[in-house]
Structure 1
Amino acid sequence: MTTEQLPVQALIEPLVKLLPAARVVIEAPPGAGKSTLLPLALLQQPSLAQQRILMLQPRRLATLAIATYLARQLDEPVGQTVGYHIRGEARFNQHTRLLIVTEGMFTQYLQQDPELAGVGMVIFDEFHERNLASDLGLAMLQESLLLRPDLSVLVMSATLPAEPIAAWLSEAGVDCQILRSEGRQYPISIHYRPPPASSRWQQHLPQVIQEACQVAQQDVLVFVPGLADIQYVTRSLNEQLQEQWQVYPLHRQVAPAAQRDVLRGRQGEGKRRIILATNIAETSVTIPGVDVVVDSGRERQALYYPQHGVSRLVTRRISKASATQRAGRAGRTAAGVCFRVWAEADQHGLRDYQVPELETADLTSLLLECKRWGSEPAQLRFFTPPSAANLAAAQQALVNLQAVQENGRLTALGQQLSELGSDPRLARIIAHAQSQSASYRATVAYLIAQLEQLPRQPQQFPQPLAQFNSAQQQRYQYWLKRLGITASERLLPPSAFAEILLWGFADRVGLQRAKSDRYLLAYGGGASFHHQDLRQPSRWLLVLTVNFSEGQADAIIGAALELTEADLTHPALTISSYDETTWSGPSKRLQTTRWQQLGAIKFNPQPVAQLPSAEQRIQALRDYVQQQGLAVLGWSASCQQWLARARLLEQHLPAAQQAQWPSFSEAYLLTSLADWASPYWQDITSLQQLTQWRPLTALQARLNYSQQQLLQQACPSHLRLPSGREQTIDYTQATPLIAVKLQEMFGEPVSPTLCFGQVTLTIDLLSPAGRLLQRTADLASFWNDAYTAVKKEMKGRYPKHPWPDQPHLAMATHKTKRHLE
């Protein structure tokens, strides 16, 4: 074993003193040796001599790399003292003492053996990444500690502060210690290279990489968000770079052998390397020979949309902690340089730490694991709580897959799905296949292997078996073995693929919208083909994968299969029928149509010959009015005036009378149509007739006789003028208003009032020709002040009409002076 001294060496002695039953949070920056030196040192401790150490890693690449490195330090092949276990691949035996596992495998270990028999310590490495599986594993392990109080637990973080984690773990009743280590890192000079305002960061990145190549003494590591960005930069660099540079991609779809080649470093005097990596290279693994890092400052993150039941990949800014991690890759073996493709002023705007996946991810698999464990998420101790909306969507998804009952209890099928260790949708397909023919099972293995390894926008699905990449071949062999068949088994014809896949994707059936390339999916969302997609749309489609593009409402269809009408009889599809009554024809008469419905999709409309009943017709009338508003009714001027009078009086009634007065507000009238309007609609058979109906009689019927008398007394429809004539009062204005010739108000000293003196009537005083002279709500003030000026102007213009000096004492008239004489 190497004797190289790393900073974490100082923590070994205090850690050993806490064994067994140690509960420790280790805070150590990158390069301290927490993933390499510490596990090997723990192997030498007598208290762990007869027990296995499990060390969890967030990624397959890190699991393989660390296991290989540690085994090399012991001068052994992987699989003896040090082994690994990832999905579909394992190299260890009964004598393996240190087993490096992915976090997802650890939850399966707990499910199979909650006591973790034979395990003396569990190490959560890189806990700061806050992956679903690590949070779930630590929550489940806290319950296991009740059965295994002697089990040691180490939680290691490079960026998250140790105190909150330790305090949270201590709340369970066991004292948790904190150990800190300095990092071992050479000086790193940071340079900021923000893209110009006229350029996107992707266009600017190759220019920064070329600058990095000029200062690099060894290799250059470039962090970009995703595969599309890697491909774009690769094309650009291949056109510009000199022959001494070789570009290597590093992401999850790269074959494991090619990933290991990158991690081994440059061999001999070969070309220097530019390694284009996603955040797969951010933590845990060291890429030898890197002295310059170019950081785009972005990452791809899956955000779950519970209303759609799908995840959307978005490009987001990284956290400050991630930026520190990435820059540290340049200073592992010597002084290094980091170029950041953002402005230094933008640095303070980055969030401090990564957002936990518990808040953003699809929680369907997590919820299934919780139920298999025997607990609801609320009963487990998570460092931060899962998203409530995402949990609700996960619950519904499991109900749809028949894995969970409506009351939340796990079904026998749900137990079977959880034990398969795959995505719940794919597990549902596999579970059904287990009782089918050998050819059926072989076809399932063929399809599942592709669905587990699909690129974001597959060019073809399904693709020929001969075109499988190494990862797909590996998964294909795994599922063949799991389903008990060999590769020589004949596959079913393509016509059978839809029947197989509908077991897991019943909610992804799509119906074409108006012969376009857009679809409505059964779960309620929309999807369309990419504008460069050459596939021909069909009426029915089974959409297996979807992606979202920023700025586009519909999802983008990835892998998909055509469906036929016959496929809609599949047992996993629940198709119901319902009758919809709508208004149709020139006069808008009621017509009933029978629809078939699959989730949000309604299709195959058939007219129903039987006429709607009177109850259905009146209900349809009410629905129409409530949707369109009261304005669709035939509101005559007299009806509007009556309604305004009733509302005015309601405002000014004493409390005792107001309690007995029916409400005439628009909101109440709209919601209570069945009480006051429907009884008058027995003979209305069309919307045309409805618009001709006059509501006045129905509204008046809501008042009893004494209330009608009260309305007429308090808010009369007409006012008897001093001249003897009656004039209509307009109640639809802001205040009740009457328009009258000025001479007809002679002899009236003050303004008339309504509502038993509580409301003053506004008067528009008109000239003999009917033009407005003055609007007033204070007639006495008008006589005393404004009348003199009005009289002076009007007397010369209308000399035939009386203009007395004392109008409040004069006789009112609508006649001229000659007619009066």
Structure 2
Amino acid sequence: MTTPQVLPVTALIDDVIRLLPSAPVVLEAPPGAGKSTALPLALMQSEQLQGQRILLLQPRRMAALSIAHFLAEQLGEAVGESVGYHIRGEAKFHANTRLLVITEGMFTQYIQHDPELTGTGLVIFDEFHERNLATDLGLAMALESFHLRTDLRLLIMSATLPAQTIANWLGDAHVLQSAGRQYPIHIQHRPVPANEDWLQALPRVIREAMTLANKGVLVFVPGKREIDRLYEVFSAETDWQVMPLHRQIPLAQQKQVLNANDSRKRLVISTNIAETSVTIPNIDVVVDSGRERQAQFYPQHGITKLITSRISKASATQRAGRAGRTGPGHCLRLWAAADEHGLRDYQAPELETSDLTSFLLECRRWGSSPEQLQFFSAPNRGNLAQATTLLKTLELCNEQGSLTTLGHQVAELGTEPRLATILTRAKLTSPTHLATAAWLVAQLELNVESSQFPLALERLTPLLRQRYRYWCQQFALAQPQVNPNLASEVLLWGFADRVAKRRASSDRYLLSNGAGAMFHQQDTRTRDEWLLVVEMTLSEQQRDAIIRAVVPLSDAELNHPAIQREQRLEVRWQGPNQRLQAIAVDAIGAIIVREMSKPDKVTAEQRLHALSGYVKAQLLEQGLNLFKLNHEAQQWLARVNLYQMLQQPSDWPQFDCESLAHEIAQWAEPHWQSIESLSQLHAWNPLPALQARLTYQQQQQLDEACPVAIQIPSGRSVRIDYCAEKPTLSAKLQELFGEPVSPTICYGKQSITIDLLSPAGRLLQRTADLASFWENAYQHVKKEMKGRYPKHPWPDDPLQAQATHKTKRQLQ
């Protein structure tokens, strides 16, 4: 047995053992404290847990393997004895294994099969700060099991999330904090010039890091594309061991990164898979691009978009810490120090950003709705609604949300619901269908190159072939026979909502869920009329999704039982006059397969309903302008709006567009009995219908407060323009003689603006204050106009003069 190192967390071991029986313990321990290594070993050897198994949960397979091997080595044993592991597709443990390191997804299957976790004394949630879906779900289930068993212990460990915050959420948890163990790290910033792409600048910074390194360099980039590009640049460095690290490389190759059996310096180019949990040996310099690939689920498409975004402050700290695990180190950051103020504190949890279909299926399998379980942060409602719809479409849940018999069978398989549905449905059909399903699912699980999907059986990589055999063994297929001709039929059971029809002769397709998809312009695959889109991605530059894995569909396959094909009668506006016609539609969701006109099938009720629907939408978009309102209607509406603004009557109907749209059946439909087309509707005068909304008494109130016209001093009745900025009338200046102040309406609350005209009808002055005009401006106007219009009166005192529209001779 190896002599254990004295790590900071060892100071807390006695406290952890003492506190665990009474309530959950939350341990905040920075990287290097020994929380994943020294603490589990000490707990395994404590008297309290003798005869009971400890489950140590890890967010990643590589971390689970690394920790299991390290702990077994500390005991001087082979892995699989006292310390074992269980990850997807691989396990090493037996009935007497005391400490079992498992992935969080595997824990979900454990607790689903045995909610009381028989024989388990302690569950440790390591790296809780990563907040994967399986993390949150596993803890929510474990908290319920904790209440079923008084002797079950829970330990939650986080490197960055504050322990007190987690404990406050749990309610009665104990809090412990450990110091970290990290050697000094010299952090330097290498911001990228504004005119240079960060990926182009990165090799220069890596070469600088290679000159600083005594042991090796660890480079953090967002994803596989960037890793492949950098590997091409540096793979020719014969003095260096250049190693890519991401989830898609085989597990055996991932294990090699954890072994330091090469005398050369090492350059490891990794995604954030190396950010926590594992210590990659012989690393003393980190190069951090400051970027990561985040999965953002878009429920309207039902797919996940990978977005390159800035990392959080917590991730930056974790990444830098990789350089100081075994000695002093350096960290070169591809951003300016000032930029760190704009970084968020923590990464958003997957409950807020991810596809929740698998999550919801496991909740329902557990016998709960997400609302009934205890989560550190609430699941995204939109994503949860889409997951609910998909589970019902796959017939895994009923309308009440409970799992169907098929749903229970699918959940037992422990893979993505669509893929598990394909396997389960194929099992119910024939052994050949099942073997074909296993062949296809293995490729979809392990993300085969989409342009080559589906790969022929003989072309499967060893990893794909291993997964294919796994499924054949799960279903006891002794002599599996794959039939590629059944691919579409088998896949439709899981992806019937991804049927797509080509738009004309383009690269673009309409999906049955209403979303758009397209082939990349460099994709050379045949553009079939009908497709089943099994995998697609959203680009940051394109509105439509990019088609990845796909199989063609024949016309016969459109009648597959999983496809929800609908025969319905629609009414539409068609023809040059946009007359309403009935159309018999054969549709798959948003896709019209075929349609036929049925001109005699439109009822009066359908016609009115269609008119109302059209007008309601147009009212909200463009208002009453859709009717080409005449002058009388415009003036009446302006009078009503002014009256309601100034008087604010409580018993009047509202005339804003939202109210008119909401009440359209009451005020408009009775006037549409003879309207047969949209062209007639646009020519319709809505004034009588709008006026009918007012009672006789209300119309009298309107006429009294906001009259159509008023009598001016000359004796003439003049109309008021209510559509002007302010209510306005126009009259010759001489017609206002003797009027000391501007006239008002609405019981004195609104002055009328007057356009004072010359004898020739041209505007002389616009005023809302007639008294001020007579006192200040009149004499100037008189001086200007008297010589031009000598036949008309221009008295010195206009307030004492007779108002008239006549000339001086006509007055005499």
After TM superposition, the score normalised by the length of structure 1 is 0.91
**1:441 Cα offset (Å):** 0.8
Change over 3 Å in CA distance of 1:4–1:591 after alignment to 2: same
Per the alignment, residue 454 of structure 1 pairs with 447
Change over 3 Å in CA distance of 1:732–1:179 after alignment to 2: closer
**Gap runs ≥5 in structure 1:** none
Task: Check whether the contact 1:528–1:554 (CA below 8 A) recurs between aligned residues.
Answer: yes
TM-superposition CA deviations, 1:221-255 (whole Å, max 9, x none): 222221101001011223xx543123211111111
SS of alignment partner, residue 504 of structure 1: helix
Corresponding letter in the other structure for 2:218:
L
State the distance in 1 between where 2:191 and 2:505 align.
46
Corresponding letter in the other structure for 1:252:
R
TM-superposition CA deviations, 1:292-334 (whole Å, max 9, x none): 2222222222122233332221222223333333233333333
Question: Aligned-pair RMSD on alpha carbons?
Answer: 2.9
**1:103 Cα offset (Å):** 1.2
State the distance in 2 between where 1:190 and 1:763 align.
75
Find the partner of 1:625 among 615, 626, 629. 615
**1:152 Cα offset (Å):** 3.1
Per the alignment, residue 469 of structure 2 pairs with 477
Corresponding letter in the other structure for 2:91:
A
Per the alignment, residue 145 of structure 1 pairs with 146
State the distance in 1 between where 2:741 and 2:10 align.
101
Per the alignment, residue 174 of structure 2 pairs with 176
Task: Check whether the contact 1:286–1:329 (CA below 8 A) recurs between aligned residues.
Answer: yes
Is 1:535 matched up with 2:525? yes
Q: How does 1:75-86 map to 2 (within 5 A)?
A: 75-86=76-87
State the distance in 2 between where 1:391 and 1:425 align.
16
Q: How does 1:518-667 map to 2 (within 5 A)?
A: 518-610=508-600, 612-628=602-618, 629-649=623-643, 658=649, 663-665=654-656, 667=658
**1:119 Cα offset (Å):** 2.0
Task: Check whether the contact 2:244–2:270 (CA below 8 A) recurs between aligned residues.
Answer: yes
Q: How does 1:309-320 map to 2 (within 5 A)?
A: 309-320=302-313
Per the alignment, residue 335 of structure 1 pairs with 328
Q: How does 1:228-267 map to 2 (within 5 A)?
A: 228-238=225-235, 241-267=236-262
Change over 3 Å in CA distance of 1:795–1:683 after alignment to 2: same
Per the alignment, residue 389 of structure 1 pairs with 382
State the distance in 1 between where 2:697 and 2:35 align.
90
Task: Check whether the contact 2:19–2:174 (CA below 8 A) recurs between aligned residues.
Answer: no
TM-superposition CA deviations, 1:53-72 (whole Å, max 9, x none): 22212111122222223333
Q: How does 1:90-101 map to 2 (within 5 A)?
A: 90-101=91-102
Find the partner of 2:762 among 746, 759, 771. 771
Task: Check whether the contact 1:167–1:176 (CA below 8 A) recurs between aligned residues.
Answer: no
Change over 3 Å in CA distance of 1:17–1:231 after alignment to 2: same
TM-superposition CA deviations, 1:398-445 (whole Å, max 9, x none): 222222222222222222222111111111112212222111110011
**1:466 Cα offset (Å):** 2.2
Task: Check whether the contact 1:266–1:272 (CA below 8 A) recurs between aligned residues.
Answer: no
State the distance in 1 between where 2:323 and 2:209 align.
12
Corresponding letter in the other structure for 1:592:
A
Change over 3 Å in CA distance of 1:766–1:532 after alignment to 2: same
Find the partner of 1:354 among 341, 347, 351. 347
State the distance in 1 between where 2:80 and 2:680 align.
85
After TM superposition, the score normalised by the length of structure 2 is 0.92
Corresponding letter in the other structure for 1:312:
K
Change over 3 Å in CA distance of 1:769–1:63 after alignment to 2: same
Is 1:305 matched up with 2:298? yes
**1:618 Cα offset (Å):** 3.4
TM-superposition CA deviations, 1:120-159 (whole Å, max 9, x none): 2222222232222222222211221233322333323333
Is 1:418 matched up with 2:411? yes
**1:589 Cα offset (Å):** 2.4
SS of alignment partner, residue 39 of structure 1: helix
SS of alignment partner, residue 134 of structure 2: helix
Task: Check whether the contact 2:216–2:266 (CA below 8 A) recurs between aligned residues.
Answer: yes
Q: How does 1:358-507 map to 2 (within 5 A)?
A: 358-455=351-448, 458-486=450-478, 488-494=479-485, 496-507=486-497
State the distance in 1 between where 2:657 and 2:28 align.
65
State the distance in 2 between where 1:422 and 1:552 align.
30
SS of alignment partner, residue 787 of structure 2: helix
Q: How does 1:61-210 map to 2 (within 5 A)?
A: 61-169=62-170, 171-172=171-172, 176=174, 178=176, 180-183=178-181, 185-210=182-207
Corresponding letter in the other structure for 2:293:
R
State the distance in 2 between where 1:793 and 1:193 align.
76
State the distance in 2 between where 1:232 and 1:738 align.
76
Task: Check whether the contact 1:24–1:179 (CA below 8 A) recurs between aligned residues.
Answer: no
Per the alignment, residue 669 of structure 2 pairs with 678
State the distance in 2 between where 1:357 and 1:666 align.
41
Change over 3 Å in CA distance of 1:780–1:91 after alignment to 2: closer
State the distance in 2 between where 1:50 and 1:734 align.
88
Task: Check whether the contact 2:28–2:157 (CA below 8 A) recurs between aligned residues.
Answer: yes
SS of alignment partner, residue 285 of structure 2: strand
SS of alignment partner, residue 580 of structure 2: strand
Comparing 81-90 and 546-555, the one that deviates more = 546-555
SS of alignment partner, residue 739 of structure 1: strand
**Gap runs ≥5 in structure 2:** none
Task: Check whether the contact 1:11–1:181 (CA below 8 A) recurs between aligned residues.
Answer: no
State the distance in 1 between where 2:164 and 2:42 align.
25
Task: Check whether the contact 1:21–1:151 (CA below 8 A) recurs between aligned residues.
Answer: no
Task: Check whether the contact 1:85–1:100 (CA below 8 A) recurs between aligned residues.
Answer: yes
State the distance in 2 between where 1:80 and 1:56 align.
18
Per the alignment, residue 293 of structure 1 pairs with 286
State the distance in 2 between where 1:296 and 1:359 align.
25
**1:447 Cα offset (Å):** 0.6
- Kindly tell me the number of residue pairs found equivalent between the two proteins: 807
Task: Check whether the contact 1:575–1:596 (CA below 8 A) recurs between aligned residues.
Answer: yes
Per the alignment, residue 222 of structure 2 pairs with 225
Comparing 806-815 and 152-161, the one that deviates more = 806-815
Task: Check whether the contact 1:630–1:670 (CA below 8 A) recurs between aligned residues.
Answer: no
**1:651 Cα offset (Å):** 5.5
**1:81 Cα offset (Å):** 2.4
**1:478 Cα offset (Å):** 0.9
